[in-house]
Amino acid sequence: MKTLLSSLFALITLAWGWDLFVAGGPGAGSLPWVVRQEGLYLTGLLSIALMSLAMFLAARPAWLEGPLGGLDRMYRTHKWAGILAVAFGGLHWLIEMSDDVLKALFGRAGRPPKEEFTGLLEALRHPAKDMGEWAIYALLAMLVITLWKRFPYRPWRFLHQGMPVLYLMLVFHAALLAPTDYWNQPVGLLLAALAVGGVYGAVVSLAGRIGRSRRVSGTIAAVERPAPDIVTVRCQLAAGWRGHRPGQFAFITFDPKEGPHPFTIASADNGSRTIDFQIKALGDYTQRLADRLQPGLAVQVEGPYGRFDIARQDPKARQIWVAGGIGITPFLAWLESLQANPGQMPAADLHYCTRDRAADPFVPRLEALCAPLPGLRLHIHGARQGETLNPAMLAARDGARRAEVWFCGPLGLAESLKKGLHDLGQGRFRFHQEAFEMR
Ligand SMILES: Cc1cc2nc3c(=O)[nH]c(=O)nc-3n(C[C@H](O)[C@H](O)[C@H](O)COP(=O)(O)OP(=O)(O)OC[C@H]3O[C@@H](n4cnc5c(N)ncnc54)[C@H](O)[C@@H]3O)c2cc1C
């Protein structure tokens, strides 16, 4: 994520610098006014470039999962590209508003002349300016509710669906107000290419076609309630389901009014188009879900997505698998997929952190799945039993070898393990993480 965002930042800044210092040169005017004008252009360019990236990623281009590390990571990139775009947009607006201050300090005289437009272009200039201003106010409000985690997800998602419209307003603003000489320069080409990607994302989103080629219908085949806060759902999918790799997830819609929610496919692919989900009551909707599901109910599944894939393991590295609570779901799929060929099982330590090992329905299931796999050591850490996992436990074995940690669980646990392992291992541990949060 950081590499992609910083590369985009560098590319835009270079292209802007090329126009400023090599091609066009700074426009006429005194230094403070020219600095204001170029600051306005640079922040505007960065804002629309990042927003275009965010909009393109929102269309869930599955072919980018490989280079970007899976859809959950693409969504994180989408989120940070959006946040940075709004920050640069806010800066752009502040610079625009600074003209009164400059007039008072340096006078009007050094102000660069406005570009002359005629006809339709001149008529559209004012609406383009206004649209940019309204869009930035709406985006700043959206940023506040995105960062304010207590704002409920459902209304947030409803408001978020307006983003493509705001984006199209910003593209209109940028296309009309960017200096005309940009369109013969690398900066213009870059801007146009990014806008094409962003407009594609916006149109796909407004047309309701995101993920459409990966959507299939199905029915619920079985529902179980292994614990008061967990529901197990088995779905039988229609032809068209392309199968999945163990560890992948899908968006499942049980109720069209509620829309899709992402859940890991907690079973291996046995070719019968039957997939299981283990769903924990973590929020408003999932708390009410168990009472609403019954065999025969129609569902829609979109996927599979994700790169938390057992096949991506480095065979030379020591394997450490860590699951916290419902984060055990991808490992259930991994273990199931290994049952047919226990010989393929790499030597690994699976750590499962649970609140209460005595009452956890996944503990007996894990024990049964691990028993035929000779290379696998299962470690259960029950918090109620006083068995908490710490980084030293992961680092204890085979200290000198390179190790890979595959983690799925709460963010707090991931951060503390990452930090602890980094301190202990000086970077010998490679951390793969499935993000269960997309907002
Ligand atoms: C890749 C991935 C795999 C997951 N696998 C599992 C699993 O196997 N089992 C399991 O129990 N949970 C899983 N989750 C978490 C699950 O998606 C959320 O717990 C569930 O959507 C919460 O919905 P809610 O309305 O009850 O909660 P709310 O309180 O409304 O939301 C809690 C949080 O869940 C996320 N969320 C809610 N609705 C959606 C949505 N429609 N789309 C995306 N994110 C949403 C948001 O981050 C939100 O802040 C997974 C999440 C992701 C991203």
Q: Is 326 in the pocket of ligand 1 (CB under 6 A)?
A: yes
Please, is 279 exposed, middle or buried when counting C-beta atoms within 10 Å of its C-beta (0-12, 13-18, 19+)? buried
**What is the overall mean pLDDT for the chain?**
90
pLDDT at 439: 65
Q: What number is the average pLDDT over the span 355-375?
A: 93
pLDDT for the residue 400: 57
Give me the residue spans of the domains in the chain: 2-206, 212-305, 310-434
pLDDT digits (tens, 9 = 90+) for 368-382: 999 999 889 999 999
CATH number of the domain located at residue range(s) 212-305 in this protein: 2.40.30.10
- Give pLDDT tens digits for 269-312: 999 999 999 999 998 899 999 999 999 999 999 989 999 988 88
Distance 168 CA to ligand 1 centre (A): 29
Q: Relative to the CA of 280, which ligand 1 atom is closest? A: 11
* Interval between CA 410 and ligand 1 midpoint (Å): 12
The verdict on the CB of residue 286 being under 6 Å from ligand 1 is yes
Average pLDDT over residues 61-88: 92
- In angstroms, the CA 215 to CA 217 distance is 7
Please give the pLDDT value at position 21: 81
411 CB near ligand 1 (under 6 Å): no
Does residue 202 register a pLDDT over 60?
yes
Between 256-260, 281-285, 400-404, the lowest mean confidence (pLDDT) is in 400-404
Architecture of domain 2-206: Up-down Bundle (1.20)
* Ligand 1 atom showing the smallest separation from residue 154 Cα: 30
Residue 250 has pLDDT above 60, yes or no: yes
Could you give the C-alpha distances from 205 to 3, 68, 201, 431, in angstroms and in order? Answer: 26, 21, 6, 33
Q: Which protein residue's CA is at the shortest distance from atom 13 of ligand 1?
A: 263
3-state secondary structure the chain: CHHHHHHHHHHHHHHHHHHHHHHCCCCCCCHHHHHHHHHHHHHHHHHHHHHHHHHHHHCCCHHHHHHHCCHHHHHHHHHHHHHHHHHHHHHHHHHHHCHHHHHHHHCCCCCCCCCCCCHHHHHHHHHHHHHHHHHHHHHHHHHHHHHCCCCCHHHHHHHHCCHHHHHHHHHHHHHHHCCHHHHHCHHHHHHHHHHHHHHHHHHHHHCCCCCHHHEEEEEEEEEEEEECCEEEEEEEECCCCCCCCCCCEEEEECCCCCCCEEEECCCCCCCCCEEEEEEECCCHHHHHHHHHCCCCCEEEEEEEECCCCHHHCCCCCEEEEEEEHHHHHHHHHHHHHHCCCHHHCCCEEEEEEECCCCCCCHHHHHHHHHCCCCCEEEEEEECCCCCCCCHHHHHCCCCCCCEEEEEECCHHHHHHHHHHHHHHHCCCEEEEEECCCCC
Nearest to 203 by CA among 80, 56, 79: 56
Pairing of strands 429-434, 318-324: unpaired
- At 326 the pLDDT is 95
Give whole-number Cα distances, 28 to 32, 37, 199, 299, in Å.
Answer: 11, 11, 34, 63
| Pocket flag, ligand 1, residue 65 (CB < 6 Å) | no
pLDDT range class, residue 390, cuts 50, 70, 90: confident
Looking at the predicted structure, is the pLDDT value of residue 436 above 80?
A: no
- The domain made up of 310-434 has a fold known as Rossmann fold (3.40.50)
| 233 Cβ below 6 A of ligand 1 | no
Report how far ligand 1's centroid is from the alpha carbon of 67 (Å).
Answer: 24
pLDDT score of 81: 97
Give pLDDT tens digits for 149-177: 888 888 898 999 999 999 999 999 999 99
Percent of residues, the chain, with pLDDT higher than 70: 96
Looking at residue 203, what is its pLDDT?
A: 97
Confidence (pLDDT) at 425: 67
- Six token digits for residue 25: 């040169």
Say yes or no to pLDDT of 399 above 70: no
Neighbour tally for 148: CB within 10 Å: 9
Give the distance (Å) from ligand 1 centre to CA of residue 149. Answer: 14
Measured in Å, residue 311 CA sits from the centre of ligand 1 at: 25
The pLDDT of 96-121, averaged and rounded, is 82
Q: Looking at residue 116, what is its pLDDT?
A: 73
pTM, whole model, 2 decimals? 0.86
Mutation probe of ligand 1 site: the residue of 278, 309, 438 with most atoms within 8 A of C-beta: 438
pLDDT of the residue at 316: 84
